[in-house]
Amino acid sequence: MPPLVQALKDYDRLRRRRFHVPAHAGQNFADSGILSDPFRFDLTELDGLDVLSEPSGCLLEAQAQTAEMFGVGHSYFLVNGATVGLMAAMLAVVKPGEKVLVSRNVHRSVLSGLILSGAEPVWFLPERLSEWGLWGAVTVESVQAQLDAQPDIKALFITAPTYEGIGSDIEALGRLCRERGVYFVVDEAHGSLWPFSDALPASACRASCDVVIHSMHKSGGCLTQGALAHLPHGSKIDPDIFQQALNTLQTTSPSYLLMASLDSSVHYLASEAGQARITQIINHTLNLRQNLVKQLKHFRLFTPQSERANYWDPCKLYFRHPGIAGEEWAADFEERHQIAYESASPDGALYLANLGLAPDDFSAFQSVFLQEDRMLVPSDSSSPNVQQAETLEPTVLLPTMAMLPRDAFFAPDCRVSVEEAAGRIAKETVVHCPPGIPVLFPGEVILETHLPYLEGDSVLVIA
């Protein structure tokens, strides 16, 4: 049997409870009958089926209906994931040599946009929740300080919510960008449900933004790679310019199965049945949180401070063990209890409460954590994790940029051993997916603190 086919079948046979992306969790709840017979409907740009790069028929209508449901001016189907939307946004808002203000916790696709555009990144740090090992909100004060210091900045790119569901005051940030004449791009990839529920934070689609990106497969229920780009009402970007940027990057052979899944999931979320499912999942999650917070004595479940709660997605479940690295205990739970996690780090593990989960999935999840928590003894609480989070801090400080990312990408290179890399200029991106946030970019000076993150025996540097 082909190895990938075998691996997929092997995973399916494990029957794990899927607290991870994609959000459908193996359930075909948002399909309109297309995916039940995929080869029959695996078609291309034929007569009557429109052309994604120049939509004028059914795709134009589908995108217009999507824009109406999201409350924006224009929506675009993305078949290369949120990645291609972020790269297209970069091409649409900055030119070579222009400055773009970028929060350090952006997805690696933003770096790809910097390389393609030739723009100069101006890095800044969002809040850092060192106790948890998490990135926090982007504050208005931090952005204003950067814009005051460098008034020639043309655009701002931020991630909100973060991978773990922490949002920012997008409304205030949008007003600031409008006042300064700065383009504002929001990577809302992990907040695809936000426009569809008042129980979740307000979406950037309703704020003064120029581009908003949604990764629909992560939380909206469509097939993997399905995503959306939106130009909200009042966006300063010409829709034709954004379409041109997309056409430069997206495949000329888009999957109609993927687009049909994307179209179906959007309509499902806006339907009565979809609204009921969203409400049900949120209620199950809130009940789960309430029960765990009351009963857990050793595990800690992340909940933001009250002043940040309005910008936070409770469906992201991030836990810390009192004495063991996240990679160890999360993998152990998955193996022994069939509770599959989304991501893990030395600091903790992330689980996602998805649309495809059933009530018994939540019951099983709660039982596992309470059972494991009861098995811990007080001595386990002498936690090394807080210290781990503190020692990781130097790797997330603002880097020293020796070259523009584009210049570094095209510069002559050589390989050196990891031991010899400190002080050299990085040629490659060091990133772990998920979450896809780079530790090191091309053009940055490699520090001693980067070395533990350089996998393998050698690293690519500028010659």
Task: Output the pLDDT for position 141.
Answer: 97
18-41 pLDDT per residue, tens: 999 999 999 988 877 888 889 999
Residue 379 has pLDDT above 80, yes or no: no
Split at pLDDT 50, 70, 90, the class of 398 is confident
Task: Output the pLDDT for position 52.
Answer: 97
Mean pLDDT along residues 128-155: 94
Split at pLDDT 50, 70, 90, the class of 378 is low
Residue 74 has pLDDT above 60, yes or no: yes
322-343 pLDDT per residue, tens: 999 999 999 999 999 999 999 9
Q: What percent of the chain has pLDDT over 70?
A: 95
Cβ neighbors of 62 (< 8 A, separation 6 or more) are 77, 259, 263
Name the CATH superfamily for 13-21+279-386.
Answer: Aspartate Aminotransferase, domain 1 (3.90.1150.10)
47-64 pLDDT per residue, tens: 999 999 999 999 999 999
Average pLDDT in the chain:
92
Split at pLDDT 50, 70, 90, the class of 403 is very high
pTM: 0.93
More confident residue, 158 or 398: 158
Distance CA(261)–CA(33), nearest Å, equals: 10
Split at pLDDT 50, 70, 90, the class of 310 is confident
Query: What is the dotted CATH code of the domain comprising 399-462?
Result: 3.90.100.10
Residue 391 has pLDDT above 60, yes or no: no
Domains 13-21+279-386 and 38-270 fall in the same CATH topology = no
Distance CA(290)–CA(275), nearest Å, equals: 23
Task: Output the pLDDT for position 307.
Answer: 67
| CB-CB contact of 207 with 174 (8 Å) | yes
87-117 pLDDT per residue, tens: 999 999 999 999 999 998 899 899 999 999 9
Distance CA(445)–CA(228), nearest Å, equals: 35
For the segment(s) 38-270, the CATH number from 3.40.640.10, 3.30.420.40, 3.40.190.10, 3.40.50.1860 is 3.40.640.10
More confident residue, 381 or 211: 211
Distance CA(435)–CA(269), nearest Å, equals: 25
Mean pLDDT along residues 259-285: 97
Residue 184 has pLDDT above 50, yes or no: yes
For the chain, the domains span: 13-21+279-386, 38-270, 399-462
Residue 386 has pLDDT above 80, yes or no: no
Distance CA(95)–CA(118), nearest Å, equals: 7
Distance CA(108)–CA(409), nearest Å, equals: 14
Task: Output the pLDDT for position 462.
Answer: 94
Bridge partner residues of 156 (DSSP): 101, 184
Query: What Rg value do the Cα atoms of the chain yield, rounded?
Result: 22
More confident residue, 399 or 451: 451
Task: Output the pLDDT for position 430.
Answer: 82
Task: Output the pLDDT for position 202.
Answer: 95
More confident residue, 37 or 379: 37
274-308 pLDDT per residue, tens: 999 999 999 999 999 999 999 999 999 999 876 67
- Report the b/e string of 56-80 with b at 16+ CB within 10 A: eeebeebbeebbebbebebbbbbbb
CA 69 to chain centre: 22
